Structure 1
Amino acid sequence: MSRLLPTTTNASTERTGDPSLLCIDDDRTSEVLAALSSETARDIFRELNERPLTAAALADRLDMSIQSVSYHLENLSETGLIDVADTCYSEKGREMDVYAVSDEPLVLFLGTEDDQPRLRVAFKNLAVAVGPVSILIAVWETLARYVGASDAA
Structure 2
Amino acid sequence: MSRLLPTTTNASTEQTGQPSLLCIDDDRTDDVLATLSSETARTVFRELNERPSTAAALADRLEMSIQSVSYHLENLTETGLIEVADTCYSEKGREMDVYTVAEEPTVLFLGTEDDQPGLRVAFKNLAVAVGPVSVLIALWETVVRYVGSDVGSA
Same fold, judged at TM 0.5 (above): yes
- Find the structure with the greater CA-based Rg: 2
- Per-residue CA distance 1:10-64 (angstroms, 9 max, x = gap): 1111111111111011011111111111000000000000111000000000000
* Residue type of the alignment partner of 2:81: L
- Change in 2 beyond 3 A, CA 1:104/1:71: same
Unpaired stretches in structure 2, ≥5 consecutive residues: 135-154
1:23 maps to which residue?
23
SS for the counterpart of 1:131 is: helix
Counterpart check, 1:132 vs 2:131? yes
TM-score of the superposed pair, with normalisation by structure 1: 0.82
Consecutive aligned runs of 4 or more in structure 1 exceeding 4 Å deviation: none
- Per-residue CA distance 1:123-145 (angstroms, 9 max, x = gap): 334444x333668xxxxxxxxxx
Unpaired stretches in structure 1, ≥5 consecutive residues: 136-153
Alignment of 1:136-151 (within 5 A): none
Alignment of 1:1-153 (within 5 A): 1-128=1-128, 130-132=129-131
- Change in 2 beyond 3 A, CA 1:91/1:25: same
Identity %: 84
TM-score of the superposed pair, with normalisation by structure 2: 0.82
* Residue type of the alignment partner of 2:114: D
1:151 maps to which residue?
none
